[in-house]
Structure 1
């Protein structure tokens, strides 16, 4: 089902209360204007994984590369990772990575094959190389990431190539989006919630509003997430406190009318998130650009 395009770029209307907007100084505006949208990155080779398309003979090679341009994930031990994997929320440990476009290569027999480049931070790469738990976890999320991004179904009968660090004649340059520090205005009198903590007691006591989250485009990796929250008991946005994290939305209201604490299936670009409350329909619409893969 296609999403309503008007949700992505709502028209100006007196019935809207804007909650979140970019808060910049003239110097910050200049800095952002001069800042390139993407960085060209040519990573160092790492190791190569061989697999194939499920129920097919089409070979797929995954080049795991390293660079300091990609952020490092949180530094945890193997024991901590095992505990997270076995917990009800195994997806809460996130590994930043850049998944590149497919490129056609030739295998050792001269047959055409497809290769993908995945870049991770060099320090995390060392963990993947030396610690079995991290390697198994990482390769699992890499295969899932490729499947989600390119609508593939990859065989889990994979093989690490011992004498090949990269499949291809030369390392492919990737263009990775730069991420500026978010300048989102916080509501007065409310501090930012610690996104590592669970919902506060006040949120647990409040009514959870009905909401929908659509992705645009609806197929593949989205460019936007659009959340609509139905708040019929509210008269104005002045009673709302909304905190948008990297992968989380926390909403609270005065007098504990509504409360919501949810995690998102994608990382978003916080500094470009915009929320508007329509006093006529009593709907809070939040438009959130999604981080590219």
Structure 2
């Protein structure tokens, strides 16, 4: 019996080692298809209008709302459609592309120091929020949430638009990515060429199911170089029904229509712009490869 147990243990160790080798090979294959660095370009935003608010510590904050044709426009909605989304169970279904600039120190009209941020949006969407109060209120709320999440601060929702100046201080050039990350690649074992599809935006009306998933680290010991998530999605027929968002330490996945929803935090901070995802149509498994930020 002792020899049988020893043999079984050896077989299990060999299977585990073989699996790790296969996982590493798959990770390297996916990573080789990704660009070494995100493509980007520098843009010069145009001034729009400036709003003033305060932090929870009563520090004055100015937000320069700028515009540029290099920023993509969000879907064109009517007021009624926007209200319907905001009243739904998933108001995050409507996303506004924007570029959040770094804070810069300025001097206000009273000669006191203050902090200003530049936020750049599409020209046509800027015209819409400038003329439509509902869209303007919605956008300012979304913009403040973006600044809070990026710079870990709390902003008052009481704000006012400056009447006599379009910007506070100077507007700085910004670097924006020219490609959207992550793109989910669809893999069909019957075809040698993967298909690519950009995620779509839609309103989610029902309560979807949390899919089964596993997250593996490579290497398994110490600080990993990669995290690989495998998510089972047996009811998904096409990558076009998937919407994937990767945060620094968070994975959010929607499978439409109302099939799946996964929102989990991961144990390490990842490099979002170098992450990639593949959906295998045969196995119905979404594999996400996430390089881990070094210590």
TM-score, scaled relative to structure 1: 0.64
Residues 82 and 265 of structure 1, relative CA distance in 2, 3 Å threshold: farther
Higher relative contact order (CA 8 A, sep 6+): 1
Q: What is the aligned partner in structure 2 of residue 174 from structure 1? A: 174
1:135-174 per-position Cα deviation (integer Å, ceiling 9, x unaligned): 1100111111111110111112211101110001x32111
SS of 2:26 mapped into structure 1: strand
Question: In 2, distance between residues paired with 1:119 and 1:40?
Answer: 12
Q: What is the aligned partner in structure 2 of residue 112 from structure 1? A: 113
Q: What is the aligned partner in structure 1 of residue 211 from structure 2? A: 208
Verify: 1:21 aligned to 2:30, yes or no: yes
Structure 1 unmatched runs, 5+: 1-10, 215-223, 235-239, 252-259, 278-282
Residues 197 and 227 of structure 1, relative CA distance in 2, 3 Å threshold: farther
User: Contact 1:246 / 1:269 at 8 angstroms: preserved in 2?
Assistant: no
Question: In 2, distance between residues paired with 1:262 and 1:134?
Answer: 27
1:195-243 per-position Cα deviation (integer Å, ceiling 9, x unaligned): 55789xxxx8x993155799xxxxxxxxx99563477xx9xxxxx9884
Verify: 1:262 aligned to 2:261, yes or no: yes
Q: How does 1:1-293 map to 2 (within 5 A)?
A: 13-14=21-22, 18=26, 21=30, 37-56=39-58, 58-168=59-169, 170-179=170-179, 182=183, 184-188=185-189, 195=200, 208-210=211-213, 228-229=229-230, 243=239, 245-247=243-245, 249=253, 261-262=260-261, 272-274=275-277, 286-288=288-290
Question: In 2, distance between residues paired with 1:198 and 1:84?
Answer: 7
Question: In 1, distance between residues paired with 2:176 and 2:53?
Answer: 26
User: Contact 1:22 / 1:184 at 8 angstroms: preserved in 2?
Assistant: no
1:27-86 per-position Cα deviation (integer Å, ceiling 9, x unaligned): xx9xx78x9832111110000000111242x21000000001111000111110011000
SS of 1:228 mapped into structure 2: strand
Residues 195 and 96 of structure 1, relative CA distance in 2, 3 Å threshold: closer
In terms of Rg, which structure is larger? Answer: 2
Q: What is the aligned residue count?
A: 236
SS of 1:14 mapped into structure 2: helix
Residues 87 and 230 of structure 1, relative CA distance in 2, 3 Å threshold: closer
